[in-house]
């Protein structure tokens, strides 16, 4: 798995904050300088959000962010499990 992991996400900051606790298994975290950070037992993860130009869909403007994941002290399998859980909680259907 290539680290750091980065992708773009269409969401509001409020929605991201609302979904994040469940997406990280209710791990404790702090919001610091545009990022969400967890530190415990010499290990840490950081989820950084960088605002992007909004997506224009007709008359609607949708907030977008570049989401950057950084991990320290975690095994590759733990990171894969973390990302799978995160994606499950932020996945949206389309059609």
Q: 24-48 pLDDT, tens per residue?
A: 999 999 999 989 999 999 999 999 9
Could you identify the residue written with the tokens 């975290």? Answer: 29
Q: What is the pLDDT of residues 45-77, one digit of tens each?
A: 999 999 999 988 889 899 999 999 999 999 999
Strand order of the β-sheet with 43-57 is: 5-10, 60-72, 43-57, 35-40, 30-32
């Amino acid at each position: 798995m290539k680290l750091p992991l980065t992708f773009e996400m269409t969401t509001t900051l409020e929605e991201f904050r609302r979904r994040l606790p469940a997406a990280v298994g209710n791990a404790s975290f702090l919001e610091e300088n545009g990022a969400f950070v967890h530190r415990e037992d010499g290990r840490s993860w950081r989820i950084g959000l960088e605002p992007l130009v909004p997506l224009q869909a007709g008359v609607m403007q949708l907030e977008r962010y570049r989401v950057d994941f950084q991990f320290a002290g975690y095994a590759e399998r733990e990171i894969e499990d973390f990302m799978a859980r995160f994606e499950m909680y932020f996945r949206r259907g389309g059609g």
